[in-house]
Structure 1
Amino acid sequence: MQFGYSEVCLAHDPGPRHPESPDRLRAIRERLKKKHGVEYVEADPCPIDDIAAIHDRDYIESVKEFCEDGGGNWDPDTTAVEETWDAICASAGQACWAVDAALAGDSGRKTPFAIGRPPGHHAVPDDAMGFCFANNVAIAAQHALDHDEYDVDRVAIFDWDVHHGNGTQDIFEDRDDVFFVSIHEQGLYPGTGDVEETGSGDGAGTTMNIPMPAGTSDAGYLAAFDGPITAALESFDPDLLLISAGFDAHRHDPISRIRLSTEAYALLTDRVRTRSDELDAPLAFILEGGYGLDVLADSVSIVHETFDGREPLGPDDDEEIDEAVEDALEAVLEEHELDADSGL
């Protein structure tokens, strides 16, 4: 894979013991040292006008000023230093680069993966929250839609971070040109993402939320993808598929209770790649969360290995889907009036 990366993103340092630390990128880079076919690209930083295409300009200007004044605690979870503004622009720039690379035809072993930070999917149009200042995946989606030469009319975003992508949902929930699907742990921060949240106005039906019970394992996530997610993607027929790739649903991540294995990310990657090919929708990945350094590095590495030719292992045919998970998926299918036999 090609990885969008900038040393500038290391300078954003929320402080000791903060889970969203620069060590996240260091751990990923260290693990990828041992892998074949890894390429790094440093993209241009995202111009403030492109960030303001998604976020309220007064808000963005206030973040820039906040950082220039030395930063501090924006809220109890979201902290900046002077260098954070440059990291915000670099992270959003890497996300836009990933879109450019995908739409230029980079696929297979050259599939783009932007590993910028701070992450973005909690950032709402006019505020920062949940470690996020600018919504990288939303900026990247708008970047694709705004450039006529790309001929992109519809973008799908699949968010597999364990937390609901509330910011991405808020940004696009009343639009019909972006389909957003989030699979996340039910009741976890920020407490949004109920099944009934399906979009509004022109965007009615273009938001899909799949809140999963604590303890859900690989089989439940794979059933969600093979069932409602696949059915919805086929119906929406996107011109571009973006993955908000958080890895905090791993069973060894310290801040969640979903029980995915590292291999689950290989299996999800393989499915995403297959669906992208079938839909003729270029594919790009954009890093979100993941706070256990070893499992974050392992999980990003296995995504790369999947594109580098490694065949995913499993799933275990003997693993049964918990009844609570089956009920959750049936609720999604019913809410979106999808075929109850879709992949289940």
Structure 2
Amino acid sequence: MQFGYSEVCLAHDPGSRHPESPDRLRAIQEGLKKKHGVDYVEPDPCDIDAMAAVHDREYVESVQEFCADGGGSWDPDTTAVEETWDAACQSAGLACWAAETALEGAAGRETPFSLGRPPGHHAVEDDAMGFCFVNNVAVAAQHALDHDDYDVDRVAIIDWDVHHGNGTQDIFYDRGDVFFVSLHEQGLYPGTGEIDEIGEGDGKGTTMNVPVPAGTDDSEYLAALDGPVTAALTDFDPDLVLVSAGFDAHRHDPISRVRLSTEAYALMTDRIRSLADDADAALAFVLEGGYSLDVLADSIGMVHETFDGREPIEPDDDDDPDDQATSVLEDVLDAHGLDVELP
């Protein structure tokens, strides 16, 4: 894979006790040293105009001013220092680079993965929250739609972070040109992402939430991708697929109760790659959460190895989704009017 990376993103330091630390990127780089075929690219940062395409301009300017004044606690979870503004611009620029690179034909072993921070999927149109100031994946999706050279009419965003991507959902909730899918732990921060949140107006039906119960493992996530997600996105027929790639649904991550294995990230990557291939869509990854350093590094390494030729190992046939998870998936199908048999 090609990884977008910049040391500018290390300068955003919310404090030694904060889980979203610069050590996350350091751990990823250290883990990738052991892998074959890793390339790094440092693209240009994003400008305010690109951010203001999905965020309120006054809000973006207020973040810039907040950082210039030395930062502080925007809210109890979301902290900035003076350098956070440059890091946020770079992180959004990295996400735009990933989308552009994919649309220019990079695929297979050249598939782009943006390693930016701070993460973005909780940032709503006019506010920061949940460690996020700028919604990187939303900026990248809008950048692709607005760029005349790429002829993009529809973008799909698949968010497998364990927390609901409320900011991405809110930004595109009434839009028909972006299909947002979120697989997340039910009831976890920020407490949004119910099944009946399916979009409104022109966007009715283009938001899909799969709120899985605590204890959910690989089989439930794979059943969601094989069932409602693939069915809905096949109908949507995107030109670009962006993955909001958080790794905090891993069984050893400290802030969730979902039980994914490291292998699950290979399996989900393989399925999303096939979905994009079937749609003849470009594919790119944008880093979100993941707070166990070893798990984060290993899981991103697994995504990379999947594109480098490693064949994912399917779970045993007897690892079927439990009744509670199956009920969630049936309700998702009903909410979207999909007549699909679950795996």
Q: Residue 40 of structure 2 aligns with which residue?
A: 40
Q: What is the CA distance between 1:280 and its match in structure 2?
A: 0.2
Q: What is the CA distance between 1:314 and its match in structure 2?
A: 1.8
Determine the C-alpha separation between the residues in 1 that align with 2:88 and 2:316: 40
Residue pairs, 1:87-236, within 5 angstroms: 87-236=87-236
User: For 1:220-268, what per-residue CA distance to the aligned partner results, in whole angstroms no more than 9, with x for missing partners?
Assistant: 0000000000000101000100000000000000000000000000000
Q: What is the CA distance between 1:2 and its match in structure 2?
A: 0.2
User: For 1:283-340, what per-residue CA distance to the aligned partner results, in whole angstroms no more than 9, with x for missing partners?
Assistant: 0000000001000000000000000011111222121211000000000000000014
Normalised TM-score (structure 2): 0.99
Q: Is the 8 A contact 1:174 1:202 kept in 2?
A: yes
User: For 1:92-149, what per-residue CA distance to the aligned partner results, in whole angstroms no more than 9, with x for missing partners?
Assistant: 0000000110000000000000010000000000000000000000000000000111
Residue pairs, 1:6-21, within 5 angstroms: 6-21=6-21
User: For 1:205-233, what per-residue CA distance to the aligned partner results, in whole angstroms no more than 9, with x for missing partners?
Assistant: 00000000000000000000000000001
Q: What is the CA distance between 1:67 and its match in structure 2?
A: 0.3
Q: Is the 8 A contact 2:137 2:286 kept in 1?
A: yes
Determine the C-alpha separation between the residues in 2 that align with 1:320 and 1:120: 33
Give the counterpart letter for 1:113 in structure 2.
Answer: F
Q: What secondary structure does 2:3 align onto?
A: strand
Determine the C-alpha separation between the residues in 1 that align with 2:177 and 2:311: 34
User: For 1:24-64, what per-residue CA distance to the aligned partner results, in whole angstroms no more than 9, with x for missing partners?
Assistant: 00000000001100000000000111011110011000000
Q: What is the CA distance between 1:17 and its match in structure 2?
A: 1.1
Give the counterpart letter for 1:26 in structure 2.
Answer: R
Determine the C-alpha separation between the residues in 1 that align with 2:314 and 2:207: 30
Q: What secondary structure does 1:244 align onto?
A: strand
Q: Is the 8 A contact 1:92 1:140 kept in 2?
A: yes
Q: Is the 8 A contact 1:330 1:340 kept in 2?
A: no
Give the counterpart letter for 1:273 in structure 2.
Answer: R
Q: Is the 8 A contact 2:231 2:340 kept in 1?
A: no
Which consecutive unaligned segments of at least 5 residues does structure 2 have? none
Determine the C-alpha separation between the residues in 1 that align with 2:190 and 2:316: 32
Determine the C-alpha separation between the residues in 2 that align with 1:24 and 1:257: 20
Determine the C-alpha separation between the residues in 2 that align with 1:232 and 1:248: 25
| Ranges of 4+ aligned residues in structure 1 off by more than 2 Å | none
Number of aligned positions between the proteins: 343
Which consecutive unaligned segments of at least 5 residues does structure 1 have? none
Determine the C-alpha separation between the residues in 2 that align with 1:222 and 1:210: 12
Q: Is the 8 A contact 2:183 2:210 kept in 1?
A: yes
Determine the C-alpha separation between the residues in 1 that align with 2:16 and 2:65: 24
Question: RMSD over aligned Cα, in angstroms?
Answer: 0.6
Q: What secondary structure does 2:184 align onto?
A: strand
Q: Is the 8 A contact 2:158 2:242 kept in 1?
A: yes
Q: What secondary structure does 2:181 align onto?
A: strand
Q: Residue 267 of structure 1 aligns with which residue?
A: 267
Q: Is the 8 A contact 1:334 1:340 kept in 2?
A: no
Determine the C-alpha separation between the residues in 1 that align with 2:26 and 2:318: 37
Determine the C-alpha separation between the residues in 1 that align with 2:250 and 2:69: 37
Determine the C-alpha separation between the residues in 1 that align with 2:193 and 2:238: 22
Q: What is the CA distance between 1:87 and its match in structure 2?
A: 0.1
User: For 1:170-205, what per-residue CA distance to the aligned partner results, in whole angstroms no more than 9, with x for missing partners?
Assistant: 000000000000000000000000000000011000
Give the counterpart letter for 1:68 in structure 2.
Answer: A
Give the counterpart letter for 2:211 in structure 1.
Answer: P
Q: Residue 300 of structure 2 aligns with which residue?
A: 300
Determine the C-alpha separation between the residues in 1 that align with 2:252 and 2:317: 23
Determine the C-alpha separation between the residues in 1 that align with 2:205 and 2:271: 23
